[in-house]
């Protein structure tokens, strides 16, 4: 298929101002944004670091501005990797109305793989769950393992030799990951890295990750450190399978913390904004820096990071998935 150009900008009514790259030695958040008063430990001025684009509002227009800023080369069929959640966790799902204009703009198909829980453990149940949560009104839906699986090779991983995902992944030429970033809503933080590993894998692929590659037919935990490293392996396999074809969004909006952890000081920090990058590690690291930057002190911040297993980011950097250092570019 021919390359498609985004018809954004003034003619489409989505201007979007892109401000100069930010990367200060102080590591402070940009003035005039919701993160102006926090420290971003991994923000850098190093021009070799990947760019994370940041819109300090949460809106459909902001998503379109960010898409224009990153200037994607939208070749062929576009898959939008979401997690449709389940009915129990619908309070933490992405708002379908928020993403609908972007999905329409790129003519995307919403994609996800089946999972362990009963609301998503087979294609029929998963499609019904997606419908109950309103995603059928956003665009066409494709359950990636509806017609089987593929085992992606893992080159240079820490634990996995292969990563099992849905066979339909082969049908997509451009892939856009969109996540509602969860800092305190799950035992493990929920962002881009999880969306491309545990949530991209089939139940057998998720079992691979949790067990460090030991089993595929049932859930067995090899421990949180091994799981973190195996997640990095899985993301590497996904990126290597479609090299240069991925874009990553993290939506950081007003979520009430769920008490599944010991982060007693955590609170709803309101809408922080939306991030997009071509580097999944940088995109997640920036989100981690922003969300955990609201900790009352540095000791609590470190505890939050340990509690939610952000070590998957350093593991991913170690095997060449991406960079924990990033530059920040404001898009309004």
- pLDDT reported for residue 8: 38
Give the per-residue pLDDT at 309.
83
Specify the pLDDT at position 306.
Answer: 84
Tell me how far apart the alpha carbons of residues 249 and 112 are, in angstroms, rounded to a whole number.
16
pTM of the complete model beyond 0.85? yes
Domain ranges of the chain: 19-331
- Nearest Cα neighbor of 280 from 210, 179, 187, 205 is 179
pLDDT at 89: 64
- What is the rounded CA–CA span in Å between residue 323 and residue 332? 25
Taking the chain (332 residues) in runs of 10, the rounded mean pLDDT of each run is: 38 52 66 93 95 97 96 90 78 87 97 87 92 95 98 98 98 96 73 95 96 93 93 98 97 76 77 97 96 87 83 96 97 91
Percent of the chain with pLDDT over 90: 68
DSSP-assigned letters across all residues of 157-210: -SS-SEEEEEGGGGG-SEEEEEEE-BSSSSSS-BSHHHHTTTTTB-HHHHHHHH
For 77, residues 6+ apart whose C-beta sits below 8 A from its C-beta are 1, 109, 171, 172, 173, 174
Instruction: Give the CA distances from residue 290 to residues 27, 302, 328, in Å, rounded to whole numbers and listed in that order.
Output: 11, 13, 12
CB atoms within 10 A of CB 308: 25
For 19-331, CATH gives 3.40.50
């Amino acid at each position: 298929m021919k390359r498609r150009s985004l018809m954004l900008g003034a003619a489409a009514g989505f201007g979007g101002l892109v401000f100069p790259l930010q990367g200060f030695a102080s590591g402070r958040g940009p003035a005039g944004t919701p993160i102006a008063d926090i420290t971003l430990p991994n923000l850098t001025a190093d021009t070799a670091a990947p760019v994370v684009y940041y819109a300090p509002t949460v809106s459909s227009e902001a998503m379109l501005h960010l898409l224009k800023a990153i200037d994607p080369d939208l070749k062929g069929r576009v898959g939008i990797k979401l997690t449709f959640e389940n009915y129990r966790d619908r309070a933490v799902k992405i708002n379908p109305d928020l993403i609908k204009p972007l999905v329409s703009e790129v003519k995307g198909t919403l994609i996800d793989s089946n999972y362990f829980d009963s609301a998503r453990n087979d294609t029929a149940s998963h499609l019904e769950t997606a419908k109950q949560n309103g995603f059928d009104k956003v665009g066409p839906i494709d359950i990636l393992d509806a017609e089987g699986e593929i085992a992606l090779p893992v080159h240079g991983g820490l634990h996995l030799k292969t990563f099992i995902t849905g066979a339909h992944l082969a049908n997509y030429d451009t892939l856009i990951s969109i996540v509602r970033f969860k800092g305190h809503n799950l035992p493990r933080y929920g962002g881009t890295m999880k969306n491309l590993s545990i949530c991209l894998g089939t139940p057998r692929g998720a079992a691979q990750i949790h067990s460090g590659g030991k089993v595929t037919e049932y859930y067995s935990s090899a421990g949180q450190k091994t799981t973190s490293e195996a997640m990095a392996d899985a993301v590497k396999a996904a990126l290597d399978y479609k090299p240069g074809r991925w874009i990553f969004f993290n939506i950081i909006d007003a979520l009430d913390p769920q008490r599944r952890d010991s982060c007693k000081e955590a609170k709803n920090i309101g809408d922080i904004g939306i991030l997009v990058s071509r580097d999944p590690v940088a995109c997640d690291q920036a989100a981690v820096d922003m969300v955990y930057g609201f900790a009352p002190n540095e000791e609590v911040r470190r505890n939050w990071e340990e509690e939610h297993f952000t070590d998957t980011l350093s593991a991913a950097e170690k095997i060449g998935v991406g960079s924990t250092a990033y530059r920040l570019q404001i898009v309004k």
